[in-house]
């Protein structure tokens, strides 16, 4: 992971998960979207609810922010970094890139 960047790609996340590296995936999509597909053990908090739920988020390990394609999660990552979460990283391409490259059997929308 490039620590100078505020984003990671799905291959890096898959490597982290495979190696058992401690991390939290924050999925900022809406419930209707997460019902279609999600990554196991993700923390599901819709984008608009993130500011009121900051206490649920870790500071001590990577916090990977994810949405459908990476736009909403980029905004949330910037918000989190501006509010003390220097461990926040945007997942490039979102769950769609994850489904296309990592979990190819995952439903897509």
Residues annotated as catalytic are 67
Helices (H), 9-86: 10-19, 31-34, 71-82
Q: What is the radius of gyration, based on Cα positions, of the chain?
A: 13
Cα first-last separation, the chain: 28
């Amino acid at each position: 992971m490039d620590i100078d960047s505020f984003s990671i790609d799905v291959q890096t996340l898959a490597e982290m998960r495979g190696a058992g590296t401690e991390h939290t995936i924050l999925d900022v999509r809406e419930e209707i979207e997460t019902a279609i597909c999600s990554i196991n053990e993700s923390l599901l908090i819709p984008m608009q609810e993130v500011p009121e739920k900051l206490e649920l988020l870790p500071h001590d390990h990577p916090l990977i922010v994810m949405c459908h394609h990476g736009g909403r999660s980029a905004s949330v990552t910037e918000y989190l970094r501006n509010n003390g979460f220097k461990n926040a990283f945007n997942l490039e391409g979102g769950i769609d890139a994850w489904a296309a490259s990592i979990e190819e059997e995952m439903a897509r929308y």
